[in-house]
């Protein structure tokens, strides 16, 4: 396949999103824009801010055993990435979660379609992280039952659903995670991808949202953000109240919205924590919470 674009110091970007040139450790790295650092900042701060509630699930309470806590990443990648504009090597979301030390996750469930990514990720985990990790190769829409099988059913869990584009994800995959009793969701909603390819993406929008009812409400690419409201309604069937489903804009270097991070929780405390971290941008500025 033809390369998508050129990454500084990384050579052409491969079809799977990795740089042609490996990282300093000789392992594959993903090619990302500088906005990936914003996403990881929000994720890292959320993981840190929820360590208090999570810690209660890591210890036994009377006759109740510890419920545990899982971090689930359906599109984990190789664990590290190269920022295409600068060549900087940064941790990917799996390592952001794995290296969290306060109330650490008891289970790291990390999945990716590419075997080379899963192999690289496994090599980048240290001994303790490896003990807590379950690495799964394959299309997450096909392996989701295996993924859910490893989630602590009585734990406090977070799932990152970070498909860079619309096509790779089915609503049924989200639904299987949503059925877990305590599962916070952080979903990459590919706003710009939908806008750019609105007409040809119609069947994939339906697959992503689990309904074609959106067609009566969103009739043009310019109205694409309205699809987030449809997603909110769909998640309501699993106990995610609409006021607990919030979206956060991630912008490119020219200020255009690339995608939204859609956060969903069944717990008012989780919603309060997410709203709090979202009010401060990665650069430290105060911002209005969008939704």
Collapse the DSSP code of 86 into the 3-class scheme (helix H, G, I; strand E, B; otherwise coil) and give the result.
coil
Q: CB neighbours (10 Å) of residue 267?
A: 16
Give the pLDDT of residue 289.
47
Dist CA 30 CA 131 (whole Å): 24
Alpha helices in 158-220 (DSSP H): 171-178, 191-196, 202-209
Please state, for a pLDDT cut of 70, what percent of the chain lies above it. Answer: 96
pTM of the prediction?
A: 0.93
Give the pLDDT of residue 98.
98
Give the pLDDT of residue 16.
87
Give the pLDDT of residue 62.
75
- Which has the closest alpha carbon to 174: 215, 141, 135, 213? 141
Mean pLDDT of all residues in 179-196 = 96
Report which secondary-structure segment, H or E, holds 38: helix 36-49
Question: Could you give all domains of the chain from N- to C-terminal order, each with its CATH number?
Answer: 31-278 (3.40.50.150)
Please, what sign has the CA dihedral across residues 31, 172, 190, 228?
negative
Q: Is the pLDDT of residue 48 over 80?
A: yes
Give the pLDDT of residue 2.
36
- Which has the closest alpha carbon to 164: 77, 46, 52? 77
pLDDT in tens, 90-128: 999 999 999 999 999 999 999 999 999 999 999 999 999
Dist CA 202 CA 47 (whole Å): 34
Of 62 and 131, which is predicted with more confidence? 131
- Residues 166, 167, 168: CA angle, nearest 5 degrees: 100
């Amino acid at each position: 396949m033809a390369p998508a674009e050129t990454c500084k110091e990384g050579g052409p970007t491969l079809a799977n999103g990795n740089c042609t040139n490996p990282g300093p450790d000789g392992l594959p790295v993903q090619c990302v824009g500088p906005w990936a650092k914003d996403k990881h900042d929000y994720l890292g701060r959320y993981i840190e801010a929820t360590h208090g509630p999570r810690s209660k699930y890591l210890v036994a309470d009377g006759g109740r055993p510890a419920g545990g806590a899982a971090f689930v990443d359906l599109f984990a990648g190789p664990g590290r990435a190269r920022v295409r504009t600068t060549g900087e090597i940064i941790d990917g979301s799996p390592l952001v979660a794995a290296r969290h030390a306060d109330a650490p996750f008891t289970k790291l469930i990390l999945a990716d379609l590419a075997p080379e990514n899963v192999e690289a990720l496994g090599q980048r985990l240290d001994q303790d992280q490896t003990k807590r990790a379950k690495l799964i190769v394959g299309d997450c829409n096909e392996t989701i039952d295996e993924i859910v099988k490893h989630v602590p059913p009585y734990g406090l869990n977070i799932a990152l659903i970070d498909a860079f584009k619309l096509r790779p994800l089915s609503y049924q995959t989200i639904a299987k995670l949503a059925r877990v009793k305590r599962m916070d969701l952080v979903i990459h909603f590919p706003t710009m991808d939908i806008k750019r390819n609105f007409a040809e993406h119609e069947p994939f929008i339906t697959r992503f949202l689990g309904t074609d009812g959106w067609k009566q409400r969103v009739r043009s690419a310019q109205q694409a953000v309205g699809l987030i409201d449809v997603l909110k309604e769909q998640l309501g069937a699993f106990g995610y109240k609409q006021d607990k489903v919030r979206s956060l804009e991630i912008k490119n270097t020219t200020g255009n919205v690339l995608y939204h991070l859609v956060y969903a929780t069944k717990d008012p405390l989780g919603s309060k924590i997410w709203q709090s971290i979202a009010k401060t941008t990665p650069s430290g500025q105060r911002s209005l919470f969008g939704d």
